[in-house]
Structures are given as C-alpha cells and as structure tokens.
Amino acid sequence: MDRRNFITNSALMTGGILVLPTITIARENNSNHVFSRPELRYSFDALTPFIDEKTMRIHYDKHYKGYTDNLNNALANNVRKGNTIEDILSNLNPDDTALRNNGGGYYNHRLFFDILSPDPQKEPSEKLMTSIIRDFGSFEEFKRLFNDESSKVFGSGWAWLILQENGKLAISSTHNQDNPLMPFAEKRGTPLIGLDVWEHAYYLNYQNKRGAYIDAFYEILDWEVVDGKFNNLMK
C-alpha cells in the first residue's frame, strides 16, 4: 500500500486490454454508484511555479467538476450505472457523446491530478525504467517522443504513456476527452501517464507556449505514482 492509502484490487482484463485496478477513495460514493472527485493531496498553490494556483483552481473546481457532474447526470437512468469508469469506457459506444465526453473527462482528469506532486520522484523505478529503455531506447528518448506527441496534438486533447495488452509500453495521443481505454482508440491500452494539453490546463501561465508547459510537466510528474500503477498492472 502506498503513502496515500488507497485500496487496490488485482488488475483486470476488459475488452482485450489491461484495466487499472479499481481505486476506492473516501469521497467516492460507491454505494450509490456516484462518481466524485478524489481530494487533491496537495494545495492549489503547491505546484507553483510549474502550474499556477489560479489555473489549478479553475481546472479542478470548474472543468473537472463539470465533467464529474455531467457524467453522473448521464448515468442517472443508464444501464451502465454502477459499473466502474474503466468498464464504462472500455465498452463505450462512440455515438454516446454524453458518456464519451464526460466519462472520458472524468477519468482523464482523475489520472492527471493523481500523478502530479510538489515533491515528486523524478525518475521511474528500476523495473519501469527497464521497460522504458526496452521500448523506447532510453529515458531521454522516451521524453523526446512524449514531448513530440504532446506538441503535435492539434487543438484540444491528451498525450499518453500506456501499457498495452502485450506488456509493451507505447506513446499515443487522443483528441478532446477520448483516451486509450476506449474501443475505437487508435492505440489501445491502460494509461499510466496522461498529459492534458487543452489550453485551460496551461494558458494563464504559458499562453501559446505549450512546449514550455510540457517541459514543466516533468518537474511535477511523480514517477512513484506511475510506478505503482505499472506494478499493479504487471502483477
């Protein structure tokens, strides 16, 4: 159990891909099958100067909250109510825009805020580093490829480090609030890292300098959390 004391179940296979273990969090009202936002482990200003306080407040309290509320509304009379968010997204009908946009927005932001820390572990553990070197050549090459993928997203979207069904790591990107769990994703897998490259994630501080925001991301990316996700999936 890691320092944040959340409870994990063993990794599952859903729709042909590895799915992250279900996380039981105090604020998640699982008895009523209502999704809620896990509380941040850090204050809104704790990631300064890499992400400023105002951006964090707007991002967490407005954007993330909006996706969470709209997801719950979309599930109110839906047969998928009560399923995990991973199961909902892994079996998603692409024409169900309410679940696609808001379910994706909820899952993506939950991951994004989870992997950030004001006092992060700056590099992967030996086990994950070995996989990164195997699949990308080096840690620096991984960062170069991830930066390139993040930079080339046209408009709004996300960049991902994912673990595929074959046990290999891959880098991908998606538009809007899509993610690699979804059955129509170009590259499918379970996200380990998700970088939000919507302008609301960085514009107040970085304006049009997305590259500077991407570089700053590594200063607050907590590889200890990423290691935990990777190790749970590889069990």
This model's pTM is above 0.95: no
User: Which amino acid is it at 162?
Assistant: I
Q: How far apart are CA 188 and CA 23, in angstroms?
A: 21
User: Bridge partners of 29?
Assistant: 34
Q: What would the two tokens of residue 183 be?
A: 């059955």
CATH no., domain 1-29+51-235 = 3.55.40.20
pLDDT tens, per residue, the chain with 235 residues? 343 333 233 344 444 444 443 332 333 444 355 899 999 999 999 999 999 999 999 999 999 999 999 999 999 988 778 899 999 999 999 999 999 999 999 999 999 999 999 999 999 999 999 999 999 999 999 999 999 999 999 999 999 999 999 999 999 999 999 999 999 999 999 999 999 999 999 999 999 999 999 999 999 999 999 999 999 999 8
Q: Where are the alpha helices (DSSP H) in the chain?
A: 53-58, 65-75, 85-90, 97-114, 126-136, 139-151, 203-206, 210-220, 223-234
Cα 1 from chain centroid (whole Å): 20
Q: How far apart are CA 191 and CA 11, in angstroms?
A: 13
Residue 61 is given by DSSP the state I
Give the pLDDT confidence of 2-54 residue by residue, as tens digits: 433 332 333 444 444 444 433 323 334 443 558 999 999 999 999 999 999 99
Q: Domain ranges in the chain?
A: 1-29+51-235
